């Protein structure tokens, strides 16, 4: 599924934003796979336990913040 999404995005010239629980990959490896941006639910302010327990809230907050940032709001 992921490889097909990547293929379609590349064909269409669209960026790929990956959303995950936690990402430990270095920036260079992320870019090498064709991913433009990674949104990780676990970070310096959100623990893995909180990310799993309140996934919907964290997902909504982080994705909304990223899109507001991209859109310039």
**Mind listing the pLDDT tens digit for each residue in 6-62?**
899 999 999 899 999 999 999 999 998 889 999 999 999 999 999 999 999 999 999
Residue 73 pLDDT more than 70? no
Q: In this structure, what token pair is assigned to residue 34?
A: 């064709």
Element (H, E) at 39: strand 37-40
Rounded to two decimals, what is the model's pTM?
0.78
Neighbours of 22 (CB within 10 A): 12
């Amino acid at each position: 599924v992921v490889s097909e999404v990547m293929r379609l995005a590349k064909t269409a010239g669209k960026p790929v934003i990956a959303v995950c629980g936690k990402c430990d990959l270095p920036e260079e490896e992320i870019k090498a796979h064709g991913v433009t941006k990674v949104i990780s639910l676990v970070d310096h302010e959100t623990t893995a336990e909180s990310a799993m327990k309140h996934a919907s809230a964290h997902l909504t907050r982080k994705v909304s913040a990223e899109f507001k940032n991209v859109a310039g709001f």
